[in-house]
Amino acid sequence: MIQRLDEVVPEREFKLLKIDLEGSELRALRGAEKLLRTRRIRNVLFEINEAALRLGGSSSAELISFVESYGYRLSCIGRFGLQPLGKLGHNTNILASR
pLDDT tens track for 58-70:
999 999 999 999 9
Is position 13 within any domain?
Answer: no
Question: What is the band of 85 on the pLDDT scale with cuts at 50, 70, 90?
Answer: confident
Q: Mean pLDDT, to the nearest integer, of 1-28?
A: 89
**Rounded to an integer, what distance in angstroms lies between the CA atom of residue 82 and that of residue 74?**
9
Angle at the Cα of 80 from the Cα atoms of 28 and 67, rounded to 5 degrees? 25
The tally of domains found in the chain comes to 1
Decide if 30 is inside a domain. Answer: yes
Residue 47: domain span: 18-97
Tell me the pTM: 0.89
Cα 83 from Cα 92, distance rounded (Å): 11
Statement: residue 87 has pLDDT above 90 = no
Residue 58 or residue 83, greater confidence: 58
